[in-house]
A and B are shown apart, each in its own frame.
Chain A
Amino acid sequence: MENDKIKKVSIICAKGGLDEVYPALILANGARMEGIEASIFFTFFGLNAIMKKMVKKLKVATVGNPSLNLAMPMMKFPITAPFPTWMGAIPGVSAMATGMMKKEMEDLDIPPVDEFLEMFTDAGGKIYACKLAMDMFKLTKDDLVNQVEDVLTVGQFYEKSAGASIIFT
């Protein structure tokens, strides 16, 4: 039924690992492609994804990430094998995992995060930053990429989200 269709989504991204930012971007951009109004609210460590200095440097965490078994087949191990935590702590391993994910993404025609933010806003999507988190990390709007539309309080975020489904990634 027409009335049951989702018309608007507000996606919250509170974490800043490469693997934690992509789901928010893909969901949000995918919404625009379906004609759904979409915004992303970056808060807490998610702010990394919209910081000029960090947007190209997001990483995949290889320590304390029990889901990395999914990457084991790339190293010719079974998909159920746990990724050893000690291995994740070796210098360069996080960078390697990050590089692998970036390559996989590129192969799937998914852009790097900075290009993705531009694509999303060109598609009419809106990007917001959380004021409280900005204050906590002593950031100003100048620290953020140009695609950020506004810095919002939680109250303003809910105001902008009127009528939307709110998704926490």
Chain B
Amino acid sequence: MATKDYGGNTVDVNDEGYLTEFKQWNEAIGEAIAKEEGIEQMTDRHWEIIKYLQKYFEDNGEMPSIRNMKKTGVADTKELYSLFPGGPLKKSSRIAGLKKPESCI
């Protein structure tokens, strides 16, 4: 198991850089991962999505789909792609300290 250091926080990560232990996550780590994913500034909207993913994962044990987020009014497809350009679900789940989504949709 690889580890990675984010500003003094050492976390366990898999080979794609996803945290394997959610309890090691905090916002500073999320922010550092966001920078790695090319998101320079995490806004309130970014954090709202991240918190929603974490809550959803806690309740359901899996990631919501982009369609779910649109239907539940969390964020529409266009906004998700503009907040997390180049792969909204895989980037947001990594920032959130969750596992990579397995769904094709």
CB <8 Å contact, A33 and B77: no
Q: Bound complex: CA of A110 vs CA of B104, how far in Å?
A: 9
CB <8 Å contact, B89 and A119: no
- The residue on B at minimum CB distance from A122 is B77
Number of interface residues of A (CB under 8 A): 15
Encoded as 1 (CB less than 8 Å from any A CB) or 0, chain B from 73 to 84 comes to 000111001000
CB <8 Å contact, A109 and B77: no
Q: B3 near A: Cβ within 8 Å? A: no
Chain A nearest Cβ from B26, distance in angstroms: 26
Q: Bound complex: CA of A129 vs CA of B85, how far in Å?
A: 27
Q: Kindly specify which of B5-13, B15-23, B46-54, B61-69 makes contact with the partner chain.
A: B61-69
CB <8 Å contact, A33 and B88: yes
CB <8 Å contact, B105 and A26: yes
Q: Bound complex: CA of A114 vs CA of B52, how far in Å?
A: 27
CB <8 Å contact, B89 and A33: yes
CB <8 Å contact, A119 and B87: no
- The residue on B at minimum CB distance from A35 is B86
Q: B103 near A: Cβ within 8 Å? A: yes
Taking CB atoms, residues of chain B closer than 8 Å to A124 are 81
B interface residue numbers (CB < 8 A to A): 65-68, 70, 76-78, 81, 85-90, 103-105
For the complex with contacts A33-B88, A33-B90, A123-B78, 11 further pairs of A-B residues with Cβ separation under 8 Å are A26-B104, A26-B105, A30-B104, A35-B86, A108-B105, A109-B65, A109-B67, A109-B68, A109-B103, A122-B76, A122-B77
